[in-house]
Each structure stands twice: as C-alpha cells, then as structure tokens.
Amino acid sequence: MSSPTKQRAPSSATATSPSHATSPKSKRRERSDPQQQSESAANSNPATSPHSSSKSPKALTQPPPTAPAASHKIYSSLPLQIMIFLNERFFPIMWIILLAMLIYKGVWFPYVGIALPLEIFGLFPFAVLEAARLFLGNRGNKMEERGSFAIFLGLTLVTIFAYLFYGIWQTYVTIVDLVVCGIGLVFVVAELLSGVVQIISFHRLV
C-alpha cells in the first residue's frame, strides 16, 4: 500500500530574490544615468560643444581687435615744402652759373686787388649755408620741430644778403647774374614768409 506523496502548498507570499530587489543605490544610478547621457551627447555634438567654437577656422583666422589710432592734426606746410623742393633743384644750377660768370669776368674784365678771388671764394660758404638751411627747413617742416625751423628762419635772413651781394653788389653784375639771383631771391623770400606763418602754427601745439 503506497503512501500518499506530500505536496507542498504554494505559499501566498512568494519570496523575492535578492537580485530583483531595488536598493537605494540603484535608484540613484537610474536617476543620474539620463543626466550623464545628456551631458555626453552634448559633448559629442560639435555644434554644442564649448571647445568646438575655440577650434573653429573662423575663430582662428579672425584678427584681434585693434584700438583706434589717435588723431593727430598735421601742421606741416605744403606750399613751404614745395618751395624748398624747387629751391633744392635750382640752387646747384644757379651756383654753377655764378661761378662760370665770375671766371668769364675775370678773363675779360679788370679786377682791383683780391676782389675776384674773394668773390669766387665766397661762393663756397654760400653753398654750405644754403645746403644747411634747406636741410633744416625740410626737416623742421616735415617733423614739426620748432628748433630746426627756428634755425632755418635765422639762416634764411643771412642767405638773403648773399643773394643780394651776388645779384647787385659784386664788382661786375651782368644780366645773367641779375636773373638767376632774382629767381633765387624769390624762393628765399617766399620761404621766409611761409616759415613765419609756420612757426606761429607750431607755437599753437604747446
């Protein structure tokens, strides 16, 4: 006679395995996972990545902003500069003509004592004086230097007497001497008048 097999009655309360149980740590991980995924997606996207803008070609090729240049009013005189430029070209021609005329007059006209050697020798200091005067005038006008310009005006007054001497005060004055010295004197007087106006404008800079 066989004994009846014992069957276990299913319990109403089923036991949950520890693997399916949700711990507080797993809940925190599940909450933080969407935030981490969104941050990684933003970093992987070159359009929204903060480092992509610094590495873009436009940002690399764009020049840095420059400060606006300070405005400076120009006080140099254009008419005076034109006169100095023309005088620098005319004076060597005039000097050669005066020297040639003195040699011609020394051959054909009588001179008393050492008048002829003195008149010929005087041309060389005249050339040095005029070259220094034009250099200082050119420098003082372009660079707006009052010191150089003041010396230029002082030498201009001395140069006027040299032009007058070889134009009307030398021993023998020809038409050629009168014409070339007259043209040079026009340049010098124009430079003197323009220089006086220019030195007044330089004093306004102070």
Mean of pLDDT values over 91-99 = 97
Q: Kindly report the number of other CB atoms within 10 A of residue 140's CB atom.
A: 25
Residues 6+ apart with CB under 8 A from 187: 83, 86, 87, 90
Q: Given a cut of 70, is residue 184 above it in pLDDT?
A: yes
Q: In whole angstroms, give the CA distance from residue 138 to residue 83.
A: 10
Kindly tell me if the per-residue pLDDT of 108 is higher than 90: yes
Question: Average pLDDT, stretch 138-151?
Answer: 89
Measured from the Cβ of residue 102, the count of other Cβ atoms closer than 10 Å reads 22
Burial of 171 from C-beta contacts in 10 A (0-12 / 13-18 / 19+): middle
Q: Tens digits of per-residue pLDDT, 20-63?
A: 445 544 445 545 455 555 555 445 554 444 444 444 554 456 65
pLDDT band at 65 (very low <50, low <70, confident <90, very high): low
Cα distances (Å, whole numbers) of residue 172 to 50, 74, 123: 92, 47, 15
3-class SS shares of the chain: helix, strand, coil, % to 5: 65, 0, 35
Which pLDDT does position 39 carry in this prediction? 53
Per-residue pLDDT at 11 exceeds 60: no
Residue 84 near residue 152, CB atoms below 8 Å = no
By C-alpha distance, which of 86, 165, 97, 91 is closest to 130? 91
Q: What is the pTM of this model?
A: 0.64
Dihedral angle sign, alpha carbons of residues 75, 80, 85, 91 = negative
| Total length of the chain | 206
Domain ranges of the chain: 93-203
